[in-house]
């Protein structure tokens, strides 16, 4: 039986091997592994793609979030409003700076930060709102920006899963003061290692982040401020540069696969396909359905037995993570995020997935739903 992984990085490399190998060979040829023309060229190309004045290449998505917060002057005691239904890297950087994540529950239909609950969480210490465009669908940025303007808060976008996504015709990174992108290998645009970028229209902020990522350098051995070692390296930049021209086609393929899944699953009892926010054009980094909590884990196991690489993104909300116990949150504080964590299930999705593979996943899910009883 053919296995269908959650993501298939080998299929993509096989399809674009020549361009990627040539990019790697170019860097090996000149051995300029740090900085240089590949990094500059990719930064320019990615800024043009996202529609922002600047893109600054950094070492990871986590570094991108960290450097935005640091450059904005987020300090110990500051509060940043964000979602509990995300990967932990959304909040690690602000905790590293001594700031405090303040969680606001999600909209259960879109899994993104619910703007209607944000104002109740604002205090005199609130400095910023950090929505995450989860699964590749943008948060309700118009509503979030309205609130931020009224309360004089910065909006930082965690766009690690949303390369190319739009809301009301504008891309991630064009809404907030800055957006953080991850090029972790499995992301919609993935490097062959760790990499990330900050997109912004603010030249001063971009310059400050460029300085901070490179040890606060004013010149080779003169350091204007204490910075970090968080650069994007030339090999990753060259690989990303070779892959970027295909991102739109890959995102279109993801949308086609998502549409095929949703059409096939719409009338399947016990399955809720993902909802699209009006005005949003998601890029389906993850295709996430909901099933009954009582049998979710057995459905997942039965899919794995059939060779289907389903997953859960994410099984434990941040406010219930052992590492964040010090925040003092309790079970029940964010009911929509907690319900999501118990019921969500991610199906395989990657641009090279064939129609036949989508049909096989749907057939396996049908079979499993019939076999796994609703009783625990
Ligand atoms: C992947 C991811 C990050 C972190 O990116 P890295 O490149 O792995 O550091 C942050 N936030 C979200 C929502 C992510 O999915």
Whichever domain contains 265, its CATH number is 3.90.1150.10
Is a pLDDT exceeding 70 seen at residue 1? no
Looking at the structure, tell me whether residues 94 and 231 fall in a common domain.
yes
Looking at the structure, tell me whether residues 216 and 268 fall in a common domain.
no
Atom of ligand 1 nearest to the CA of 89: 10
Atom of ligand 1 nearest to the CA of 285: 15
* Distance of CA 188 from the midpoint of ligand 1 (Å): 12
Average pLDDT over residues 34-61: 97
Cβ neighbours of residue 201 under 8 Å, at least 6 residues apart?
52, 53, 54, 174
Q: What is the pTM of this model?
A: 0.97
Q: How far apart are the first and last CA of the chain?
A: 29
Is a pLDDT exceeding 90 seen at residue 44? yes
Is a pLDDT exceeding 70 seen at residue 286? yes
Looking at the structure, tell me whether residues 285 and 218 fall in a common domain.
no
Looking at the structure, tell me whether residues 240 and 251 fall in a common domain.
no
Q: Which of 245, 272, 303 is the last residue of a domain?
A: 245
CA distance linking residue 14 with residue 109, whole number of Å = 36
Nearest in space to 86 (alpha carbons), one of 100, 106, 102: 106
Atom of ligand 1 nearest to the CA of 184: 7
* Distance of CA 159 from the midpoint of ligand 1 (Å): 8
Looking at the structure, tell me whether residues 171 and 275 fall in a common domain.
no
3 in any annotated domain: no
Average pLDDT over residues 141-165: 98
Looking at the structure, tell me whether residues 212 and 353 fall in a common domain.
no
- Res 375: pLDDT: 62
Atom of ligand 1 nearest to the CA of 161: 15
Give the number of C-alpha atoms closer than 13 A to the C-alpha of residue 113, restricted to the C-beta side. Answer: 32
Average pLDDT over residues 333-362: 98
Q: What is the pLDDT of residues 227-272, one digit of tens each?
A: 999 999 999 999 999 999 999 999 999 999 999 999 999 989 999 9
Average pLDDT over residues 67-88: 98
Pocket of ligand 1 (CB under 6 A): 60-62, 86-87, 89-90, 132, 158, 160-161, 182, 184, 194, 196
Mean pLDDT of the chain: 97
Atom of ligand 1 nearest to the CA of 86: 13
37 in any annotated domain: yes
237 in any annotated domain: yes
- Res 107: pLDDT: 98
SS3 sequence of the chain: CCCECCCCHHHHHHHCHHHHHHHHHHHHHHCCCECCHHHHHHHHHHHHHHCCCEEEEECCHHHHHHHHHHHCCCCCCCEEEECCCCCHHHCHHHHHCCCEEEECCECCCCCCECHHHCHHHCCCCEEEEECECHHHCCCCHHHHHHHHHHHCCEEEEECCCCCCCEECCEECCCCCCEEEEECCCCCCCCCCCCCEEEEECCHHHHHHHHHHHECCEEECCEECCCCCECECEHHHHHHHHHHHHHHHHHHHHHHHHHHHHHHHHCCCCCCECCCCCCCEECCCCCEEEECCHHHHHHHHHHHHHCCECCECCCCCCHHHCHHHHHHCCCCCCCHHHHHHHHHEEEECCCCCCCHHHHHHHHHHHHHHHHHCCCCC
Confidence band (pLDDT; 50, 70, 90) for 26? very high
- Res 373: pLDDT: 76
Percent of the chain with pLDDT over 70: 99
Q: What's the structural domain count of the chain?
A: 2
Quote the domain boundaries for residue 71.
9-245
Is a pLDDT exceeding 90 seen at residue 134? yes
What are 99's two structure tokens?
Answer: 């700031």
Whichever domain contains 223, its CATH number is 3.40.640.10
65 in any annotated domain: yes
Looking at the structure, tell me whether residues 240 and 354 fall in a common domain.
no
Q: Which of 245, 262, 296 is the last residue of a domain?
A: 245
4 in any annotated domain: no
304 in any annotated domain: yes
Average pLDDT over residues 33-45: 96
Looking at the structure, tell me whether residues 279 and 176 fall in a common domain.
no
CA distance linking residue 129 with residue 144, whole number of Å = 8
What are 73's two structure tokens?
Answer: 């002057």
Q: What is the pLDDT of residues 157-192, one digit of tens each?
A: 999 999 999 999 999 889 999 999 999 999 999 999
102 in any annotated domain: yes
Is a pLDDT exceeding 60 seen at residue 376? no
Whole-number Cα distances in Å, 210 to 62, 176, 184, 218 = 15, 18, 20, 11
CA distance linking residue 228 with residue 183, whole number of Å = 19
Which residues, in sequence order, are bridge partners of residue 154?
Answer: 128
Looking at the structure, tell me whether residues 287 and 325 fall in a common domain.
yes
CA distance linking residue 148 with residue 172, whole number of Å = 17
Which of 90, 180, 346 best tests ligand 1's pocket when mutated (most atoms within 8 Å of CB)? 90
225 in any annotated domain: yes
Q: Which of 245, 271, 297 is the last residue of a domain?
A: 245
Looking at the structure, tell me whether residues 71 and 90 fall in a common domain.
yes
Average pLDDT over residues 289-311: 97
The protein residue with its alpha carbon nearest to ligand 1, atom 7, reads 61
Looking at the structure, tell me whether residues 205 and 313 fall in a common domain.
no
Looking at the structure, tell me whether residues 316 and 328 fall in a common domain.
yes
* Distance of CA 61 from the midpoint of ligand 1 (Å): 5
Q: What is the pLDDT of residues 80-124, one digit of tens each?
A: 999 999 999 999 999 999 999 999 999 999 999 999 999 999 999
């Amino acid at each position: 039986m053919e296995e269908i992984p959650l993501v298939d990085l080998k299929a993509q490399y096989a399809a674009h091997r020549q361009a990627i190998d040539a990019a790697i060979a170019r860097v090996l040829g000149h051995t300029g592994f740090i900085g240089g023309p590949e990094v500059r060229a990719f930064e320019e190309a990615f800024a043009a793609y996202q529609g922002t004045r600047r893109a600054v290449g950094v070492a990871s998505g986590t570094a991108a979030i960290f450097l935005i917060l640091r450059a904005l002057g987020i300090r110990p005691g500051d509060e940043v409003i964000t979602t509990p239904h995300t990967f932990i890297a959304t909040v690690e950087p602000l905790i590293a700076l001594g700031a405090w994540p303040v969680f606001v529950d999600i909209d259960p239909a879109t899994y993104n930060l619910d703007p209607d609950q944000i104002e109740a969480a604002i205090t005199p210490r609130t400095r910023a709102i950090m929505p995450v465009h989860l699964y590749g669908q943008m948060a309700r940025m118009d509503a979030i920006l309205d609130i931020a303007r009224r309360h004089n808060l910065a909006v930082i976008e965690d766009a690690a899963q949303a390369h190319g996504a739009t809301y009301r015709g504008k891309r991630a990174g064009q809404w907030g003061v800055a957006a953080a992108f991850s090029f972790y290998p499995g992301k919609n645009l993935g490097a062959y290692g760790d990499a990330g970028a900050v997109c912004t229209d603010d030249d001063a902020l971009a310059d400050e982040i460029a300085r901070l990522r490179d040890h606060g350098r004013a010149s080779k051995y003169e350091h204007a401020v204490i910075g970090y070692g968080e650069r994007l390296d030339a090999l990753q930049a060259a690989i990303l540069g070779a892959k970027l021209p295909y991102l739109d086609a890959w995102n279109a393929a993801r949308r086609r696969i998502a549409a095929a899944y949703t059409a096939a699953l719409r009338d399947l009892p016990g399955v809720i396909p993902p909802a699209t926010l009006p005005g949003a054009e998601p890029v389906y980094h993850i295709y996430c359905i909901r099933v009954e909590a009582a049998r979710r884990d057995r459905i997942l196991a039965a899919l794995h037995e059939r060779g289907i690489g389903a997953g859960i993104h994410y099984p434990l909300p941040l406010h219930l993570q052992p590492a964040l116990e010090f925040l003092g949150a309790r079970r029940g504080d964010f009911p929509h995020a907690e319900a999501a964590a118990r019921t969500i299930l991610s199906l395989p999705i990657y641009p090279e997935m064939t129609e036949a593979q989508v049909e096989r996943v749907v057939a396996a899910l049908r079979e499993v739903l019939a076999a796994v009883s609703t009783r625990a």
